[in-house]
Amino acid sequence: MPLTRWLAEYAWLPEHAEPTPDVLIEAEDGRITAVTPLVGDGAPAAGVEVLREAVRLPGLTLPGLANAHSHAFHRALRGRTHGGRGDFWSWRDVMYTVAARLDPDSYLALARAAYAEMALAGITCVGEFHYLHHGPGGTPYADPNAMSAALVEAAAHAGIRITLLDTAYLAAGVDGAPLTGPQRRFGDGDALRWAERVSGFTPEDDHARVGAAIHSVRAVPAEQLATVAGWADRQGRPLHVHLSEQPAENDACRAVHGCTPTRLLADHGALGRHTTAVHATHPTSADLTLLGDSRTGICLCPTTERDLADGIGPARRMAEAGSPLSLGSDSHAVVDLFEEARAVELDERLRTRRRGHFTAAELVTAATVAGHAALGWEDAGRLSVGDRADLVTVRLDSARTAGVPPVGTFFAATAADVTHVVVDGRTVVAEGRHLTVDVPAELSAAIEELTRP
């Protein structure tokens, strides 16, 4: 890949509390080779020819955003589950009806469009929490990883990277009840057979990596948690887990095991710096200490957590305990990492009735470098030499961002303000348009197919 140059009107550089004006960014073979501020004391003068060759990026240029928690097939539920009463458990019943209708071809079509929507929103890497493994009734496809392969292919078509978090989903409750109905498509029988299947999935594409997930302590029996965690540890892969999303989960775990889900995971070796706990909405003080001391990350999904009436987790206390924070769109009720980021601060204000918990730089970190690290891409999420050339440019002249100082972008912009997206040095979105996928048309077609009576 030849040398490419971009001239950012503003760029958010590592270790800077606010954006830097007039920054020349150069990349070759998908890696950033130079980052040069062109104004200020000691700034070098760029040659006229160099500046003429550079692609100009009006607005604020950020590192690529990382969506650390996605269920791609949930995109088909948007607008269909939000009205009326109900809770997480009633929503889940509707979700199962979509899960029952998917096959590798229809999942490829839906995920391709869903991931392209993410690209339009500035997301350059997704963590797909994948548990829809098998055919109807739980019968494996001829290729037992056909659904995983569809997701990896979908990400390639959309132009983004993916960490396929292959999820162990083995039981219907903390008491080990067997899977029934659509849930049977999720299960491999036991953790050893899960590990055998996932070990056979080795995508060769550079845009894809495979990690592991424990769906929750509801879905993996306690005696099998260590098998899943051990597989991830031996392979050097990230491990993710839904944790304490609902008070009912905590209550059930205490009733069966006499401890919280966090304590159960700790006792079976499932916490640590390569683990990310998703949601952690209802932790105890002791849970926060276990998570922080082990440097277990926390992925917050505020738009889903409020859509499902889950509650508001103690984000500031999590960060202060030592847990890195990342962000996810989860059910895709909204695909907008700007909204997820500012919600971390705004929801904390609701919870505490005080303002000013997170700086803009902390929110940028959660949306970029911390999310990539949670997905095993340690070389992404920064505009710095040697890192992946992922650039996301946000316009500063829209009705939402006009008059807003660049440092305030995460409190004003939406996904609709993204104009230019580069992934590994390749332009995927230009002038707000995906270069290869007609996102609205493909979303409409894929979802109509799945939801047709």
Q: Could you tell me if 381 and 122 are in contact, meaning their C-beta atoms sit under 8 angstroms apart?
A: no
pLDDT-derived band at 98 (thresholds 50, 70, 90) equals confident
β-pairing verdict for 123-130 and 65-70: parallel
Domain count, the chain: 2
Q: Which of 121, 193, 137, 177 is nearest to 339 (CA)?
A: 121
Q: Which of 343, 359, 375 is the last residue of a domain?
A: 375
* % pLDDT > 90, the chain: 89
| Same domain? 50 vs 111 | no
Question: What does the mean pLDDT of the chain come to?
Answer: 95
Q: Could you tell me if 364 and 62 are in contact, meaning their C-beta atoms sit under 8 angstroms apart?
A: yes
Is there a domain that residue 217 lies in?
A: yes
What is the Cα–Cα distance from 296 to 324, expressed in whole angstroms? Answer: 7
| Same domain? 398 vs 295 | no
Whole-number Cα distances in Å, 5 to 161, 368, 392, 422, 426: 22, 21, 14, 12, 12
Number of helices (H) and strands (E) in the chain: give both, helices first: 15, 16
The pLDDT, as a whole number, for residue 83 is 66
Is there a domain that residue 418 lies in?
A: yes
| Same domain? 340 vs 406 | no
Is there a domain that residue 82 lies in?
A: yes
Query: What's the whole-number mean pLDDT along residues 291-311?
Result: 96
Expressed as residue numbers, the domain containing 109 is 65-375
Q: What is the pLDDT of residues 351-371, one digit of tens each?
A: 999 999 999 999 999 999 999
The pLDDT, as a whole number, for residue 15 is 85
Q: Which of 290, 278, 205, 292 is nearest to 239 (CA)?
A: 278
- CATH of residue 317: 3.20.20.140
What is the Cα–Cα distance from 33 to 25, expressed in whole angstroms? Answer: 8
Please state whether the predicted TM-score (pTM) of the whole model is above 0.75: yes
Query: What's the whole-number mean pLDDT along residues 345-353?
Result: 97
The pLDDT, as a whole number, for residue 47 is 61
β-pairing verdict for 418-423 and 55-63: unpaired
**CB atoms < 10 A from the CB of 453, how many?**
2
Element (H, E) at 6: strand 4-11
Inform me whether the pLDDT recorded for 46 exceeds 70.
Answer: no
Is there a domain that residue 442 lies in?
A: no
The pLDDT, as a whole number, for residue 48 is 56
Is there a domain that residue 216 lies in?
A: yes
Is there a domain that residue 266 lies in?
A: yes
Inform me whether the pLDDT recorded for 28 exceeds 90.
Answer: yes
| Same domain? 77 vs 26 | no
| Same domain? 222 vs 163 | yes
pLDDT-derived band at 95 (thresholds 50, 70, 90) equals confident
The pLDDT, as a whole number, for residue 86 is 67
* % pLDDT > 70, the chain: 96
The pLDDT, as a whole number, for residue 231 is 98
| Same domain? 83 vs 218 | yes
Is there a domain that residue 445 lies in?
A: no
- CATH of residue 30: 2.30.40.10
Residue 269 has phi, psi (to 5 degrees) of: 75, 25
> In sequence order, what are the residues at sequence separation of 6 or more whose Cβ sits closer than 8 angstroms to the Cβ of residue 453?
none
Is there a domain that residue 322 lies in?
A: yes
What is the Cα–Cα distance from 192 to 182, expressed in whole angstroms? Answer: 22
Query: What's the whole-number mean pLDDT along residues 230-248?
Result: 97
Q: What is the pLDDT of residues 124-177, one digit of tens each?
A: 999 999 999 999 999 999 999 999 999 999 999 999 999 999 999 999 999 999
pLDDT-derived band at 2 (thresholds 50, 70, 90) equals confident
Q: Which positions are catalytic?
A: 279, 330
Inform me whether the pLDDT recorded for 43 exceeds 60.
Answer: no
The pLDDT, as a whole number, for residue 264 is 98
| Same domain? 32 vs 157 | no
**Which strand ranges, in their side-by-side order, compose the sheet holding 297-300?**
65-70, 123-130, 161-168, 208-214, 239-243, 275-279, 297-300, 325-327
